């Protein structure tokens, strides 16, 4: 079956694409990418003579027509998506239309901005005895969110929450997390353009989040990470995993016997 490649380009730093993604991009005859989000330095590594197509100004049908045209000419087409294509990649609508033309697809994962952001602030988003869960979501704005996924409901788990596409919705975020019982001093880290040369990090608290966004002029390209795993003093709090506990056995290590 004819196919296109959907490749995760990573969060910005061109070195953060996978080896597989880079190799495929360098073999491609056609590289399509969202110029507002994927780093041009990365796309510049495409093979000489490759057709480079910026898609930010195109609508869905235009993009798909373009892919279909090239694939039917026998060309190898890669579609570069920011971060990992599985998160807010709008890939399935492209795939559905391609299918009508008998064109399949294969996905190569990428480093999502959520993990690039966690790395930028040196955070682990799951900490033993604190939370073992990370929720990836967005606040409701123009794009509706299903009733059972309202932030207030998700936040009732008091785990770590990563908010994509929500930089202009911080008043709403604060209100919904407070309604779920989150303390005003819950740590929040905002990472704008993680891994780009102009990356900006703002560490704040739930109650100060909206003002911090305003003062720092952050209105887009930002990841909001909220919860106690973002506590800048987390290292002093002595949380320990079972995995590295001397008494915990697993397939690769026999536990040290301790007296009760
Ligand atoms: C359309 S979504 C794409 C997400 C992407 N698929 C991913 O895995 O990171 C765009 C949103 O992702 C987040 N984002 C993407 N790149 C980012 C970066 N370098 N730093 C911080 N947030 C980023 C922002 O929340 C932005 O509004």
pLDDT digits (tens, 9 = 90+) for 204-242: 999 999 999 999 999 999 999 999 999 999 988 877 766
Closest to 217 measured CA to CA, from 180, 190, 248: 190
Confidence at residue 123, expressed as pLDDT on a 0 to 100 scale: 97
Confidence at residue 252, expressed as pLDDT on a 0 to 100 scale: 67
Confidence at residue 222, expressed as pLDDT on a 0 to 100 scale: 98
Q: Report, as an integer, the average pLDDT of 11-15.
A: 97
Confidence at residue 235, expressed as pLDDT on a 0 to 100 scale: 87
Q: How far is the CA of 194 from the centre of ligand 1 (A)?
A: 9
* Token pair recorded at residue 163: 């908010």
Domains along the chain with CATH numbers = 2-111 (3.40.1010.10), 114-237 (3.30.950.10)
pLDDT digits (tens, 9 = 90+) for 29-81: 999 998 778 999 999 999 999 999 999 889 999 999 999 999 999 999 999 99
Q: Is 88 touching ligand 1 by the criterion CB < 6 Å?
A: yes
Q: Is 117 touching ligand 1 by the criterion CB < 6 Å?
A: yes
Query: Would you call 30 helix, strand, or coil by DSSP?
Result: strand
Confidence at residue 138, expressed as pLDDT on a 0 to 100 scale: 98
Q: How far is the CA of 82 from the centre of ligand 1 (A)?
A: 7
CA distance 204 to 226: 10
pLDDT digits (tens, 9 = 90+) for 166-194: 999 999 999 999 999 999 999 999 999 99
pLDDT digits (tens, 9 = 90+) for 155-167: 999 999 999 999 9
* Token pair recorded at residue 194: 């993680």
């Amino acid at each position: 079956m004819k196919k296109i490649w959907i490749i995760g380009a990573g969060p910005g730093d061109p070195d953060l694409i996978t080896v597989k993604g880079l190799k495929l991009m360098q073999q491609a005859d056609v590289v399509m990418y969202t110029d507002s989000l994927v780093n041009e330095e990365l796309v510049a590594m495409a093979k000489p003579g490759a057709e480079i197509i910026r898609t930010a100004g195109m609508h869905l049908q235009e993009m798909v027509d373009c892919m279909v045209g090239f694939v039917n000419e026998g060309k190898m087409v890669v579609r570069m998506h920011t971060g990992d294509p599985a998160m807010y990649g709008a890939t399935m609508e492209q795939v559905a239309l391609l299918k009508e033309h008998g064109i399949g697809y294969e996905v190569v994962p990428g480093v999502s901005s959520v993990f690039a952001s966690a790395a930028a602030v040196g955070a682990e988003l799951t900490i033993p005895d604190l939370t073992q869960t990370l929720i990836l979501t967005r606040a409701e704005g123009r794009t509706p969110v299903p009733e059972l996924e309202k932030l207030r409901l998700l936040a009732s788990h008091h785990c770590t929450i990563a908010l994509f596409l929500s930089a202009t919705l911080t008043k709403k975020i604060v209100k919904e997390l407070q309604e779920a019982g989150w303390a005003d001093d819950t740590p929040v880290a905002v990472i704008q353009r993680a891994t780009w040369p102009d990356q900006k990090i703002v560490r704040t608290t739930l109650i100060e989040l909206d003002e911090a966004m305003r003062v720092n002029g952050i209105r887009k390209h930002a990841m909001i990470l909220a919860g106690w795993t973002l506590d800048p003093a987390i290292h002093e709090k002595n949380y320990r995993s079972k995995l590295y506990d001397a008494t915990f056995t697993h397939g690769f290590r026999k536990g040290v016997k301790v007296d009760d």
